A and B are shown apart, each in its own frame.
Chain A
Amino acid sequence: MALVEIQNVTKTFKTKVAGAQGEVHALSGVSFSLERGEIVAITGASGCGKTTMLRIIMGLEQASGGSVMVNGKKVNACGYDRGMVFQHSELLPWRSAIENVAFGLELKGMDKPTRVAEAARYLELVGLSHAAERLPHQLSGGMKQRVGIARALAIGPDVLLMDEPFGALDAQTREGLQNELLAIQAKTQQTIILVTHDLDEAVLLADRVVVMSRGRVAEMLDVHLPRPRPSLAALRGNPEFGNKRLRLWELLKTEMDADARKAA
């Protein structure tokens, strides 16, 4: 059985516009699965339901129907088998970098000396040992997101969930962090689900790309690139990278054109 099984998940939001009750189908039957050690990217135009899907897997939102299974257990709420990396890192501003990494361990009930040692280990993994005592506002955007990654990894989740983790960073920082994530994954074999709107990022990082459109899975693309992967710069000339990038772009473009026609 796969590590993560998403079966026919639906999500309906009730809306009320000018007194009229309405329903929005954010997800209408999404299914896919992940094996241990895989990286899957979910991409799609904005409003396709990719972030909602991730939040349901995390347990921050409840599905209206269908099921999410992680390691054979049905997901109803948040749990330590899943670790979340937020889009804007969401570090606690009054805690130093190392205290932020230790936050999940603290809630898990780990005693202080052990969790400090654990947190230090994960800070080292993301290359931030030197900034352990700094407060979040003393860290750059890229460093904050590294702390966010370390915080999520520290609890030892079966699957790491990332919500557009590099979307708010500048291009150079983003490439650096993408490479670092690949390196960490090569070392730890961490299973990752990553939501992104960046097509380069999706193909670079993922073994499989789930393309979503209007709450459904429009297509699943297997990316046949070897692991460990070289950097984005080195992959640019690779024909497999180019083909998959192009295919993704076509899928999204068709949809955007359709939307534009509808709007016109």
Chain B
Amino acid sequence: MMTTDHTTVPVSIRMDLVTILMSRRFITLTSVAIALLLWEFFGRQVNPLFGSYPSAIAVAMVELTLSGRLPSAFFQSLQPFVVGFSIAAILGIPIGMLLGRFRFMEAAFGIYVTAGNAMPLIAITPLFMLWFGLGFTVKVAIIATLSFFPICMSTWSGVKSIPKSLIEVGESFVGSRRAILQKIVLPASVPYIMAGIRLAVGKGIIAMIVAEFFTALSGLGGIILTAANNFETAEMFAPIIVLLTFAIMLNAFVQWLEHVIAPWHVQVTGQED
């Protein structure tokens, strides 16, 4: 059918274009590009003391990177973050599972987790400094504390939301409490645990910067505060942009991890793009 072939070619090209234009990545990139352009345009109208704009921030970023300050500050910040975040996950996941699975534990300790999740970070920082000093340890403690609660609460509610019938499958095959926990409760709550980890990334990064502000000035938080005190607004934004980029990448990494660990959930809920 030569004649129809002739007409289908442009149609398929148009379809490809529509697919590209409607793809999530393209929409996101367009949105970011427009936001940066608007920021550049309006940012230039503002006194550089009170605001900055992307091109100035980019210049500051290049300078800070070439001088080595930005990379070394980033790795300085990263160390307590990795340690604190790991502690939060290692404690948060099992404690969340215990709370969700055992009524006694939930009744006895659930209230502390619920309350702790609303704990104001700024209020506890001075106390933590008394306990842990001003160095590496206090930063780890602050990051771990703040990231712990979203992971724990999310795991807890995930375990609670597992259908009773799925637990009964384990019971009907004479599974011990431990076997049911390992083979049913844990895999079923992976999506919730991952959601908790993603929420905790944000909290952990905030905790990291606050810890750097209030304890020994260091890392990215150190650059931010020093630049702010010198009214170097563009230089202040550079580490913030690094932080935001880091958060987005970490979030994407956790999402990818969920695809690997729990492909069934992603496919069941139709999140694939």
**A residues adjacent to B (C-beta < 8 A):** 58-60, 77-80, 82-84, 86, 88, 90, 92-94, 103-104, 106-108, 135-137, 155
Pairs of residues from A and B, 6 with the lowest C-beta to C-beta distance, nearest first = A104-B173, A84-B172, A107-B173, A93-B264, A94-B264, A94-B187
Name B170's closest neighbour in chain A (CB-CB).
Answer: A107
> In the complex, what residues of B have CB within 8 A of residue A93's CB?
188, 264-265, 268
Please, how many angstroms separate the alpha-carbon atoms of A155 and B169 in the complex? Answer: 13
> In the complex, what residues of B have CB within 8 A of residue A104's CB?
173
Nearest Cβ on chain B to A42's Cβ, whole angstroms: 18
The size bracket of the interface on B is 20 to 34
Name A104's closest neighbour in chain B (CB-CB).
Answer: B173
Contact partner of B262 (CB less than 8 A), chosen from A59, A90, A94, A136, is A94
Is there contact, CB below 8 Å, between A92 and B165? Answer: no
Mark B16-37 against chain A: 1 for CB-CB distance below 8 A, else 0.
Answer: 0000000000000000000000
Mark B167-186 against chain A: 1 for CB-CB distance below 8 A, else 0.
Answer: 01111111100010001100
> In the complex, what residues of A have CB within 8 A of residue B172's CB?
58-60, 78, 82-84
Name B180's closest neighbour in chain A (CB-CB).
Answer: A107
Is there contact, CB below 8 Å, between B268 and A78? Answer: no
Q: Given that A93-B268, A135-B264, A137-B267 are contacting pairs, would A108 and B166 also be in contact in the complex, using a CB cutoff of 8 Å?
A: no
Is there contact, CB below 8 Å, between A90 and B165? Answer: yes
Nearest Cβ on chain A to B271's Cβ, whole angstroms: 13
Is there contact, CB below 8 Å, between B267 and A79? Answer: no
Please, how many angstroms separate the alpha-carbon atoms of A146 and B267 in the complex? Answer: 22
Sampled A-B contacts (25; CB under 8 Å): A60-B172, A77-B174, A78-B173, A79-B174, A80-B173, A80-B174, A82-B172, A86-B169, A90-B166, A90-B168, A92-B169, A92-B184, A92-B187, A93-B188, A93-B268, A94-B265, A103-B169, A103-B183, A107-B173, A107-B175, A107-B183, A108-B174, A135-B263, A137-B264, A137-B267
> In the complex, what residues of A have CB within 8 A of residue B166's CB?
90, 92
* CB-contacts of B224-267 with A (<8 A): 262-265, 267
A/B pair count, beta carbons within 8 Å: 61
> In the complex, what residues of B have CB within 8 A of residue A77's CB?
174
Nearest Cβ on chain B to A261's Cβ, whole angstroms: 35
> In the complex, what residues of A have CB within 8 A of residue B165's CB?
86, 88, 90
Nearest Cβ on chain A to B200's Cβ, whole angstroms: 23
> In the complex, what residues of B have CB within 8 A of residue A137's CB?
264, 267-268
Please, how many angstroms separate the alpha-carbon atoms of A136 and B265 in the complex? Answer: 11
Name B187's closest neighbour in chain A (CB-CB).
Answer: A94
> In the complex, what residues of B have CB within 8 A of residue A78's CB?
171-174
Please, how many angstroms separate the alpha-carbon atoms of A136 and B263 in the complex? Answer: 12
**B residues adjacent to A (C-beta < 8 A):** 165-166, 168-175, 179, 183-184, 187-188, 190, 262-265, 267-268
Please, how many angstroms separate the alpha-carbon atoms of A103 and B171 in the complex? Answer: 12
> In the complex, what residues of B have CB within 8 A of residue A59's CB?
172
Is there contact, CB below 8 Å, between B168 and A60? Answer: yes
Please, how many angstroms separate the alpha-carbon atoms of A83 and B169 in the complex? Answer: 10
> In the complex, what residues of A have CB within 8 A of residue B188's CB?
92-94
Nearest Cβ on chain B to A149's Cβ, whole angstroms: 14
> In the complex, what residues of B have CB within 8 A of residue A84's CB?
172
Is there contact, CB below 8 Å, between B267 and A135? Answer: yes
Is there contact, CB below 8 Å, between A155 and B173? Answer: yes
> In the complex, what residues of A have CB within 8 A of residue B267's CB?
135, 137
Name B176's closest neighbour in chain A (CB-CB).
Answer: A107
Name A91's closest neighbour in chain B (CB-CB).
Answer: B169
Name B163's closest neighbour in chain A (CB-CB).
Answer: A90
Nearest Cβ on chain B to A228's Cβ, whole angstroms: 29
Please, how many angstroms separate the alpha-carbon atoms of A137 and B181 in the complex? Answer: 23
Is there contact, CB below 8 Å, between B264 and A107? Answer: no
Is there contact, CB below 8 Å, between A107 and B265? Answer: no
Name A155's closest neighbour in chain B (CB-CB).
Answer: B173
Please, how many angstroms separate the alpha-carbon atoms of A59 and B168 in the complex? Answer: 10
> In the complex, what residues of A have CB within 8 A of residue B168's CB?
60, 86, 90
Please, how many angstroms separate the alpha-carbon atoms of A30 and B195 in the complex? Answer: 48
Please, how many angstroms separate the alpha-carbon atoms of A241 and B220 in the complex? Answer: 81
Please, how many angstroms separate the alpha-carbon atoms of A241 and B265 in the complex? Answer: 45
Nearest Cβ on chain B to A118's Cβ, whole angstroms: 14
> In the complex, what residues of A have CB within 8 A of residue B171's CB?
60, 78
Residue among A80, A83, A94 with the highest chain B CB neighbour number at 10 A: A94
> In the complex, what residues of B have CB within 8 A of residue A107's CB?
170, 173-175, 179, 183
> In the complex, what residues of B have CB within 8 A of residue A82's CB?
172
Name A79's closest neighbour in chain B (CB-CB).
Answer: B174
> In the complex, what residues of B have CB within 8 A of residue A90's CB?
165-166, 168-169
Please, how many angstroms separate the alpha-carbon atoms of A78 and B179 in the complex? Answer: 15
Please, how many angstroms separate the alpha-carbon atoms of A135 and B175 in the complex? Answer: 22
